[in-house]
Amino acid sequence: MHDESAMSDVTMAIGENIRKARERKGLRQEQVAEMAGIPLSTYKNYEHGKQPPPGDRIGAIARTLGVSADELVFEESERQVADELRALFKRFEVLPPDLKTQAKVAIRGLLMSYEVEALKHEG
């Protein structure tokens, strides 16, 4: 039952994100549904959080609204974390190969120490 509630919350959040993006673009539901190639009743169900859109439909809606799929699927706080990680990965990608290897070892070591610390706090 808890899983259904969590899924419902996620579906509602996606619907709200879609609605906000559509409103920012100044479009009506009918316009977005038509441009994305989605039946209007189905699109309305997405916006109202009655059913989650599958991945291909999220992509079509995102392209129609000129936003990333992340913007429709994730909460703003989650997107900020993703943006920060993307920026770190971009910096990582320009490192010379030998430094990439060293960076990977350092990152693994940090993560392992944090995981061990987290386990200590759990038990």
Q: What is the pTM of this model?
A: 0.62
Q: What's the one-letter identity of residue 95?
A: L
Q: What is the DSSP letter of 28?
A: -
Residue identified by tokens 């920012």 is 24
pLDDT band at 80 (very low <50, low <70, confident <90, very high): confident
Who contacts 1 (Cβ-Cβ below 8 Å, separation ≥6)? none
pLDDT band at 1 (very low <50, low <70, confident <90, very high): very low
Whether the CB-CB separation of 98 and 84 falls below 8 Å is answered with no
Average pLDDT over residues 97-101: 93
pLDDT band at 11 (very low <50, low <70, confident <90, very high): confident
pLDDT tens by residue, 13-71: 999 999 999 999 999 999 999 999 999 999 999 999 999 999 999 999 999 999 999 88
Whether the CB-CB separation of 57 and 38 falls below 8 Å is answered with yes
Chain mean pLDDT for the chain: 89
Who contacts 14 (Cβ-Cβ below 8 Å, separation ≥6)? 46, 49, 52, 53, 58, 72, 73
